[in-house]
A = this chain, B = another copy of it.
Amino acid sequence: MVLDPWGEFKVEDYEKLCRDFGIQPLKPLLHEFKDPPAFIRRAIIFGHRDLDIVLRAVKECTPFAVMSGIKPTGDFHLGSLLTAKEIVYFQKLGGLAVYCIADIEAYEDNDLPFEVSKEIAVSNIADILAIGFDPKRGYIYRQSRERRVKDLAYLFGKGVTLATMTAIYGDRHFGLYMSAFIQIADILLPQLKDFDGPKPTVIPVGIDQDPHIRFARDVAHRFRESLGFIPPAATYHKIMRGLDGSPKMSKRSPLSYFTLNEDLDSVRWKLANAYTGGRATAKEQRELGGIPELCCIYELCAFHFMEDDSKLIDMYRRCKAGDVLCGECKAEVEELVLDFLRQHQERRRSFIDEALRIVEEEERREPSYL
| Bitwise interface map of A from 142 to 178 toward B, beta carbon under 8 Å scored 1, else 0 | 0010011011111111111110111000011111011
Stretch at the interface among A103-111, A200-208, A272-280: A103-111
Q: A148-B369, A150-B151 are in contact. Are A162 and B171 (CB under 8 A)?
A: yes
Q: Are the C-beta atoms of B178 and A368 separated by less than 8 Å? A: no
Q: With the chains together, A172 CA to B159 CA distance in Å?
A: 9
Q: How far is the CB of A305 from chain B (nearest CB, A)?
A: 39
Measured between beta carbons, the chain B residues less than 8 angstroms from A154 are 104, 107-108, 150, 175, 178-179, 182, 370
| B residues less than 8 Å from A148 (CB atoms) | 369
**Cross-chain contact A152 with B111 (CB below 8 angstroms):** no
Which residues in B have their C-beta under 8 angstroms from that of A173? 157-162
With A150-B150, A152-B369, A368-B147 in contact, is A157–B175 under 8 Å at CB?
yes
Q: Are B157 and A178 in contact (CB under 8 A)?
A: yes
Interface residues of A (CB under 8 A from B): 104, 107-108, 111, 144, 147-148, 150-162, 164-166, 171-175, 177-179, 181-182, 192, 367-370
Question: Can you report 22 A-B residue pairs in the complex whose CB atoms are below 8 A from each other?
Answer: A107-B155, A108-B157, A144-B151, A147-B150, A147-B368, A147-B369, A150-B150, A151-B370, A154-B179, A154-B182, A154-B370, A157-B174, A157-B175, A159-B173, A159-B174, A160-B173, A160-B174, A161-B174, A162-B162, A162-B166, A162-B171, A178-B178
> What is the CA–CA distance of A107 and B166 in the complex, to the nearest angstrom?
23
User: How far, in whole Å, are A192 and B161 apart by their CA atoms in the complex?
Assistant: 32
Q: Provide the bound-state CA to CA distance between A157 and B370, in Å.
A: 12
Bound form: Cα–Cα A178–B181 in Å: 11
- State the CA gap A207–B5 with chains docked (Å): 41
Kindly identify which residue among B155, B171, B174, B370 contacts A370, using a CB–CB cutoff of 8 Å.
Answer: B155
Which residue on chain B has the smallest CB distance to residue A165?
B174
Chain B residues, Cβ within 8 Å of A370: 151, 154-155
Other than A156-B175, A157-B177, A165-B174, give 11 A-B pairs with Cβ distance below 8 A: A107-B154, A107-B155, A107-B158, A144-B151, A154-B175, A157-B175, A159-B174, A159-B175, A160-B174, A162-B166, A174-B181
Residues of B within 8 A of A171 (CB): 162
Max count, chain B CB within 10 A of own CB: residue among A152, A165, A370: A370
Distance to closest chain B CB from A110 (angstroms): 10
Closest B residue to A146 by CB, please name it.
Answer: B369
Asked whether A151 lies within 8 Å of B368 as measured between CB atoms, the reply is yes
